[in-house]
Structure 1
């Protein structure tokens, strides 16, 4: 599994960075790093899943996203001078990553100024993702957002066979991802359960019928 970060680099550059990565493993519930920690590496998920959380004004942690195999996180540390983590990353199941130290990436940047284009692309991708989420929050109903986040999670936890997909997240966490209140999202999930789209359990749910979710998501 090659890093998307390496796309556009020469074979020699990719090999140099690949050799600089190191394997990291995390148990379910283990924090990879905390918001405000010194940022010293980028991670790519090889297996498992990682939740990205930020602190609200009230001091609570809110889940913004769940990332799966092949996805990269921690790259914003490359783009800020103070290099501190802007969010908390936590393994939501046993997870393996490959970590690349910023010092290794910086060494390549100093040797080849064209590598800065990778940073611009990473920033553009991040802004694009945030812009889409902001538009959803402003103009898309909570019901549609819940369906979209469930479909996103199917991509993280599914095996591509179309079989039912178990998502090990509580309804509270689904509400955080969808940007809705817990009572409202619980009601929406209840309706989806009655329609046979999902099965609800303690601290988890199972997606049974993606076609229903796709209709509700407006896709």
Structure 2
């Protein structure tokens, strides 16, 4: 187990893949810096979610992993993780299930991001996720690819 403070980096794009990660508490984002200085959030791993599991089959990471909150993360050497999957078919099936759910979620996110209007993106997100918890709207803005002020304007419009 390793503890990471909010903003701390677990790994950077192009770092060699040496470990596999499972988030136990907190949230860790997979981010890719954009040429305009912004960030593209590819995925946010929350408790009991694997982080960058597709990296098992890569030589280097394809993005940065940054703790969005203070987080505790189980870290296992890549070779031990791969060996365990080879020895335990149930563990391998579990990983495939988890990855399939992640792919489905990513496809839904891509479809949401393809929508042009903030209102349409928000509707799509709410249809899939439901109402967020108190204080989590800023995370919704990031997930639907809009600025927090744009999202808050849309929420204010809906309250009227």
Which TM-score band (shorter chain)? 0.7 to 0.9
The correspondence for 2:151, drawn from 167, 170, 185, is: 185
Change (3 A) 1:51 1:113: closer
2:119 corresponds to which residue?
143
Contact 2:24 2:73 in 1 (8 A): yes
Matches within 5 A, 1:57-206: 57-58=35-36, 60-80=38-58, 83-111=59-87, 116-118=92-94, 120-139=96-115, 141-146=117-122, 148=125, 154=132, 165-167=134-136, 174-180=140-146, 184-191=150-157, 195=159
Please state how far the C-alpha of 1:32 moved relative to its aligned partner. 1.3
- Unaligned runs of 5+ residues in structure 2 are none
**Structure-2-length-normalised TM-score:** 0.74
- In angstroms, what is the RMSD of aligned CA positions? 3.3
Q: Distance in 2 between matches of 1:114 and 1:174?
A: 34
Q: State the structure with more CA Rg.
A: 1
Q: Distance in 2 between matches of 1:25 and 1:153?
A: 30
Please state how far the C-alpha of 1:190 moved relative to its aligned partner. 4.0
Q: Distance in 2 between matches of 1:181 and 1:95?
A: 25
Change (3 A) 1:66 1:113: closer
Change (3 A) 1:109 1:181: closer
- The structure with higher relative contact order (CA 8 Å, sep 6+) is 2
Say which SS state the counterpart of residue 6 (structure 2) adopts: coil
Cα offsets for 1:150-191 (capped at 9, x unmatched) = x5794xxx5xxxxxx233x8x5x6543212356633422443
Contact 1:49 1:92 in 2 (8 A): yes
1:17 corresponds to which residue?
none
Change (3 A) 1:37 1:97: same
1:29 corresponds to which residue?
7
Q: Distance in 1 between matches of 2:72 and 2:42?
A: 20
Query: How many residues are treated as equivalent by the alignment?
Result: 157
Please state how far the C-alpha of 1:96 moved relative to its aligned partner. 0.7
**Structure-1-length-normalised TM-score:** 0.57
Please state how far the C-alpha of 1:77 moved relative to its aligned partner. 0.8
